[in-house]
């Protein structure tokens, strides 16, 4: 089983759609959780951290379920500029390394 698994993509959605990404992780010692965004041939950029209580940043909402070892990212009112690969990332506290999923590509069309 891979340490971090994400929905296979790509997701093709029209502008204005709501899209959800799912991610599961295998290491129960994981303590920090993130979503990164990566544009084509660019470096990953932190989109948002994910907290147990869930958190929202504008059109983006992240949820964490520790019991199920499941993380999600919801994007509302998709924009063309949201087209990118979304990477689910976990960090095992004390080891200070990031474990990435393979990423899910999102394509938003006019």
Q: Which of 17, 27, 69, 102 binds another protein (CB under 8 A)?
A: 102
Find out whether 26 and 69 touch, Cβ atoms under 8 Å. Answer: yes
Q: Which of 27, 49, 55, 69 binds another protein (CB under 8 A)?
A: 49
Task: Please give the DSSP secondary-structure letter assigned to residue 110.
Answer: -
Q: Would you say 76 or 102 has its CB closer to another protein?
A: 102
Query: If you count them, how many residues does the chain have?
Result: 110
Residue 1-30 contact track with another protein, rule CB under 8 A, x = bound: ---x--------------------------
Task: Please give the DSSP secondary-structure letter assigned to residue 82.
Answer: G
Residue with tokens 């992780």, as numbered in its chain: 25
Cα–Cα distance for residue pair 90/4, rounded to 1 Å: 8
- Give the footprint of another protein on this chain (CB under 8 A): 4, 32, 34, 41-46, 49, 87, 91, 94-103
């Amino acid at each position: 089983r891979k340490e971090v698994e994400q929905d296979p993509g790509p997701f093709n959605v029209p502008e204005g759609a709501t899209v959800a990404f799912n991610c599961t992780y295998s290491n129960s010692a994981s303590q920090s959780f993130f979503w990164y965004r990566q544009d084509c041939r660019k470096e990953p950029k932190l989109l948002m951290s994910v907290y147990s209580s869930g958190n929202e940043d504008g059109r983006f909402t992240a949820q964490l379920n520790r019991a199920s070892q499941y993380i999600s990212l919801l994007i509302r009112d998709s924009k063309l500029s949201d087209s990118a690969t979304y990477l689910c990332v976990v960090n095992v506290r004390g080891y200070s390394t990031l474990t990435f999923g393979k990423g899910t590509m999102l394509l938003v069309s006019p």
